[in-house]
Chain A
Amino acid sequence: MVQRIDPALERKLREHPNAVVRLIVRVTGEATEARSRLRGLGAVVHRSFVLVPGFAVSCSSSTAIRLLREPWVVSIEEDRVVSAQSRAARRPGKGKS
């Protein structure tokens, strides 16, 4: 069962409503329509996905909270940094943000 949003992320969004965040938004329904709705709510859509129906977006925290009220939004999660797993590689969290 996919959690709609991690409570810690939701707290972070509510505490900093003007901060711009990178998110992965999973959706149901027709992708073109979902993209249009995301844009209409002020999100910048970077990518859309096939394997997992959804989008990589940037938006304000307040927009992210607004997305939670949309029935076609399945889940919202932070677009986290991943790293090469060689020992000399940089650890996650120290790269992009």
Chain B
Amino acid sequence: MSSIKIAAGLANAMSSSTAHNEHRVIVRYRADLTIAARPLAGKSPQQFSLIPAAAMRVTSDEIQHLAASTDVERVWLDLPVHTCLDVSAPSIHAPQVWQSSYTGHGVGIAVVDTGIDPGHPDFAGRVAAMEDFTGEGPHDNHGHGTHVAGIAAGDGTRYRGVAPGASLYVAKVLHSDGSGYMSEVIAGLDWAIQQDVRVINLSLGGVGPCDGTDALSTACDAAVDHGVLVCVAAGNFGPGASTVGPPGCARRPLTVGACTSQEEIAHFSARGPTADGRVKPDVLLPGVDIVSCRAQGTSMGSPIDALYTRASGTSMATPHASGLIALLLQAFPELSPDQVKQRIMDTAKDLGLEANAQGEGRADAYQAYVGTMPPSEPSPPPSGCLLSLVQLLRLQH
């Protein structure tokens, strides 16, 4: 009876250690037990008041003794955690896909933007190619592209992107002021489709409305024809109707609006329909207060420290989609761009908003991976990330 109270991970750790080895554990007690009555053992016990639990360092013998107590319901290994901060990657359940060993490894993402800081440690060894179409050089002298690339594929221990194993191909098409011409973006797209990429991220746009027949939107459609799924920002010109601008109105790319990590639509997120009456955006993803990589020497957003900065926009929502797609394509490399897009839309969580605000809803990496509709019950925990102890204890029954 006592052994079933010991979580599998802890049991494994106990079996591969001596009786005198210490383990860090979390013990959950009966809910009606007072704090004073909780049985403790070992060293450095730390009582929790919000939940009926305590953390401590104990030997295997002490674990067995605790588990034998009728006051104890469960004993877990107190795992070291790496923070998946910001909260956005966990909020779309990307860590649950990582748990299945899919991190985007082997999938190339093209970030067509303001360039990148290739010396940022969160991209070490994964910037496969850089090309400049601005005449300024490929390094990011604005900060936007580096932030976007970090959301898609940063592999930091503090702030981890959605596809931390993906390779990055970087086309600089926006200048130091964050703007550029459509022709420069199209040139970047031309370059990107010649690289080993299956996803192109366009966190940029112009003023709407539009009908998808402009040259940039047409180029995006053509890139999808070439087998590369393009993720485009809906734009930040909401909340009025028909504010999605080019290339967000393109037909074949996945057009991404922004929501908070609490699943509320961002007021600035552009709304459809397009000028020819189509629903846009296609999905929403987190795009408010996103902490990601900061390019050296830049001050875009609200800098956190030398390496990270916080920013909002559909620019930030879009690379969540690109990273999500990289995860899917590592898991299911045979999927076509249209199939990937449809899968993401089919498994998005309906937020109950108008179609021209939310599209199909908030996209979810784990649901897209398993290929099912979102459950009404809480999802499994995003393992490996920093969760509150309350969440951990609620979910790991």
Contact = CB atoms under 8 A, between A and B. Distances in A.
Interface of A: 1-3, 22, 24, 26, 46-47, 49-52, 54, 56, 75, 77, 79-96
Given A82-B206, A85-B233, A90 B177 contact: yes
B187 A80 contact: no
10 contacts: A24-B182, A52-B186, A82-B204, A84-B178, A85-B235, A85-B315, A86-B311, A89-B315, A92-B245, A95-B175
B215 A24 contact: yes
Interface of B: 113-114, 142, 144, 147, 174-175, 177-187, 189-190, 193, 203-207, 213-216, 218-219, 222-223, 226, 233, 235-236, 245-246, 268, 300-301, 311-316, 318
A88 B302 CA distance: 10
Given A82-B205, A85-B314, A90 B190 contact: no
A88 B179 contact: no
A51 to B, nearest CB: 4
B214 A82 contact: no
Contact of B193 (A22, A51, A75): A51
A86 B175 CA distance: 14
A26 to B, nearest CB: 6
B203 A85 contact: yes
Nearest to B142: A84
Given A46-B183, A79-B183, A85-B233, A52 B311 contact: no
Nearest to B225: A51
B173 to A, nearest CB: 9
Given A24-B182, A79-B183, A92 B206 contact: yes
A88 B300 contact: yes
A49 B192 CA distance: 12
A89 B313 CA distance: 9
B205 to A, nearest CB: 6
